[in-house]
Amino acid sequence: MTHPICRVRSFRIVAPHTLNVQFDDNTEQRIHFEPVLAGELYGPLRDLSIFNQVRIDSEVHTLVWPNGADFDPATLHDWPNRCEEMKARARQWDSASV
């Protein structure tokens, strides 16, 4: 089974916790991250001053934040198919931190 390699080419902040992400295959996703910002790693990104420091890692070509948070570029690329799974994980992360 092959797994396509996706790379983030660019992004734009379009609303709070929301990015338009463009990929090297000329596709684009508008991703609202707020529902998955939970737990030790992603929870701090609820603070917009941290979330808005997003950048593209030049080595792995995905979105990264100063606290070390990142997402697999394939997950970002296929966000409509992965969103519910990510929300479920976020609920687990929240319950684990209680």
DSSP secondary structure string for all residues of 80-97 = HHHHHHHHHHHHHHHHHT
Model confidence at 89: pLDDT above 70 = yes
In a domain, 1, yes or no: no
Give the total number of structural domains in the chain. Answer: 1
Confidence of residue 76 (pLDDT cuts 50, 70, 90): very high
What does the pLDDT look like over 35-61, one tens digit per residue?
A: 999 999 999 999 999 999 999 999 999
In a domain, 3, yes or no: no
pLDDT of 20 reads 98
Q: Which of 26, 20, 33, 49 is nearest to 82 (CA)?
A: 33
pLDDT of 90 reads 84
pTM of the model: 0.88
Question: How many CA atoms does the CB half-sphere of 32 hold within 13 Å?
Answer: 5
Give me the CATH number covering residue 21.
3.30.2020
What does the pLDDT look like over 6-31, one tens digit per residue?
A: 999 999 999 999 999 999 999 999 99
In a domain, 50, yes or no: yes
Stretch 69-82: mean pLDDT, rounded?
A: 94
